[in-house]
Amino acid sequence: MAASQKPSENAVLRILSTQTAEGETDRTELDTKAKYEYTAEQTVITYYEVDEMGRETCETVITILRDDLVTIRKSGFISTSMVLERGKSHPVQYISPFGTLEMLLCAQTIRSEFTETGGTLRMQYLIDIGDSYSARNTIELRVSRRGQSGQ
C-alpha cells in the first residue's frame, strides 16, 4: 500500500499473544504504530503487519463494539473477517496464498477499557479446526495515543 493511502498513525500499539495447543505454548509480541479512533459506541485500531524484509503485507482493523463483541478484519497477504462474541461460536475463513482454512472461534472472555487517550483489550478465545486441531488464544492489546505520558 502506498504511503499516501495509509491512515494517519496517531498511536503506539503493543500486542501480546499466547497460543496453547497440544501441550505447547507459543508467545509473540508486536510493537507497532497504529491509527486509533475512539467514540462512545466503538473503538477502532488499524495497523499494518510487515514481513521479515520490512514490507507491509497485511492491514488489520480491530473494532471493539463492547465487552462482548470484537471484530478483526485482515486484508492483503492474509484475508479474513473474524467475529469474537463472548459465549458464542462463529465460523471463519482464513485465506492465504497457501490455501483457505476453515475454523470456528469461540470467545470466552473479552474485557476492554478505552478512552480518548488509549486503553487495553484482553481476550481469550478457542480455535477449533475440525477434529484435527484445537487451541486457546489469549491476546492483550495496549494502545496509547502518541504524545501521551510515557510516549
Residue 151 domain-assigned (yes or no):
no
CATH code of the domain in which 136 resides: 2.40.128.20
For the stretch 5-37, pLDDT in tens is: 455 889 999 999 999 998 999 999 999 999 999
Q: What local confidence, expressed as pLDDT, does residue 149 receive?
A: 45
pLDDT (tens digit per residue) in 92-131: 999 999 999 999 999 999 999 999 999 999 999 999 988 7
Cα–Cα distance for residue pair 64/29, rounded to 1 Å: 20
22, part of any domain: yes
Note the pTM of the prediction, 2 decimals. Answer: 0.88
- Structural domain boundaries, residue 28: 9-144
Is residue 121 in a domain?
Answer: yes
Q: What domain count does the chain have?
A: 1
Is 124 part of any domain? yes
DSSP reduced 3-state for 61: strand
Q: Is the pLDDT of residue 41 over 60?
A: yes
Q: Rounded to whole angstroms, what are the CA distances from 148 to 10, 14, 81, 117, 118?
A: 11, 15, 31, 7, 9
